[in-house]
């Protein structure tokens, strides 16, 4: 395939569509693995980065269209991509993106030993964290955790009086924390657990426990009678 010093002037002179009717790569003599791909059927030209991964697979990544990105920026991006490929990190590898709902189902499927009352405790988040259930875990951040924690406590305390919402709010975030940790063990590159935003002084005080709560009473202990979701 042809090689040349890819300057703006040189790229502008590259024929597109290529007379051959096929896509043609024009490789840069300066940055190995960087090229301009000219279409064989349209006037489209694109910057690409291509390199062989350590396992022998060849990987081509589109950096951007020539008419949408500057040459300097394209070279910088291509350099980063080529470096990632050199170390075996494939930018085209599918990133697992579990939602809170799918994580809950996966957790309950994996924890088949859980008793019905414990399952009910976990499923309470379908109410308390209802707005999050279809969100990817990656999109739930520390700010959301803080806001939701306070909202649950405020709404439930208003409905029942006193500080009844404190236990429910704490329980919801503890459950979410457990599910997120479960997902982190099974999902590459998942950000750190956002519940870490809640420091010791951020958790609501709870009445001291003077006796063991029977497992069948756990849902009532943590959540009481089901109110509408805040």
pLDDT value at 205 more than 90:
no
Q: Are residues 136 and 160 in the same domain?
A: yes
Spatial CA neighbour of 59 closest among 46, 48, 71, 74 = 48
Instruction: Compute the mean pLDDT over every residue in the chain, rounded to the nearest whole number.
Output: 86
**How many folded domains does the chain comprise?**
2
Confidence of residue 122 (pLDDT cuts 50, 70, 90): very high
Mean local confidence (pLDDT), 45-74: 91
Domain limits for position 105: 100-223
Min mean pLDDT across 5-9, 58-62, 218-222 is at: 218-222
Here the tokens at position 32 are: 């190995």
Report percent pLDDT > 70 for the chain.
85
Q: Are residues 75 and 150 in the same domain?
A: no
Q: Of 24, 51, 86, which residue constitutes the final position of a domain? A: 86
Report percent pLDDT > 90 for the chain.
62
pLDDT one-digit tens code per residue, 110-120: 998 889 989 99
CATH number of domain containing 74: 3.30.160.390
pLDDT value at 179 more than 70:
yes
Confidence of residue 89 (pLDDT cuts 50, 70, 90): confident
Spatial CA neighbour of 33 closest among 63, 54, 56, 12 = 63
Write the CA distances from 32 to 13, 14, 90, 114, 184, integer angstroms. Answer: 21, 19, 18, 56, 36
State how far the Cα of 34 lies from the Cα of 1, in Å rounded to an integer. 13
Q: Of 33, 60, 86, which residue constitutes the final position of a domain? A: 86
H helix count then E strand count, the chain: 8, 5
Here the tokens at position 74 are: 């394209």
State how far the Cα of 109 lies from the Cα of 34, in Å rounded to an integer. 46
On whether the CB atoms of residues 23 and 39 are closer than 8 A, the answer is: yes
Q: Are residues 143 and 182 in the same domain?
A: yes
Q: Is there a domain that residue 228 lies in?
A: no
Confidence of residue 161 (pLDDT cuts 50, 70, 90): low
Q: Which one is predicted more confidently, 185 or 91?
A: 185
pLDDT one-digit tens code per residue, 24-59: 999 999 999 999 999 999 999 999 999 998 888 888
Confidence of residue 228 (pLDDT cuts 50, 70, 90): very low
Question: DSSP letter at 114?
Answer: -
Which segments of 21-99 does DSSP mark as H helices, in order?
71-86
């Amino acid at each position: 395939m042809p090689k040349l010093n890819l300057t703006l002037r040189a790229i502008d002179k590259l024929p597109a569509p290529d007379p051959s009717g096929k896509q043609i790569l024009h490789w840069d003599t300066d940055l190995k693995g960087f090229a301009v791909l000219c279409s064989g059927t349209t006037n489209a030209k694109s910057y690409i980065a291509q390199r062989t991964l350590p396992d022998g697979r060849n990987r081509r990544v589109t950096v951007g269209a020539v008419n949408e990105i500057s040459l300097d920026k394209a070279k910088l991006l291509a350099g980063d991509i080529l470096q990632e490929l050199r170390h075996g990190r494939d930018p085209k590898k599918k990133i697992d993106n579990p939602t809170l709902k799918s994580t809950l189902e996966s957790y309950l499927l994996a924890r088949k030993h859980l008793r019905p009352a414990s399952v009910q405790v976990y499923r309470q988040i379908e109410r308390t964290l209802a707005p999050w259930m279809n969100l990817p875990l990656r999109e739930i951040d520390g700010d959301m955790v803080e806001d939701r924690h306070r909202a649950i406590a405020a709404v439930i305390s208003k409905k029942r009086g006193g500080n009844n919402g404190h236990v429910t709010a704490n329980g919801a975030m503890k459950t979410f924390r457990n599910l997120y940790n479960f997902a982190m063990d099974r999902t590459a590159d998942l950000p750190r657990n956002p519940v870490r935003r809640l420091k010791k002084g951020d958790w609501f005080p709870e009445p001291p426990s003077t006796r063991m709560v029977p497992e069948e009473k756990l849902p009532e202990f943590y959540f009481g009678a089901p109110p509408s979701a805040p």
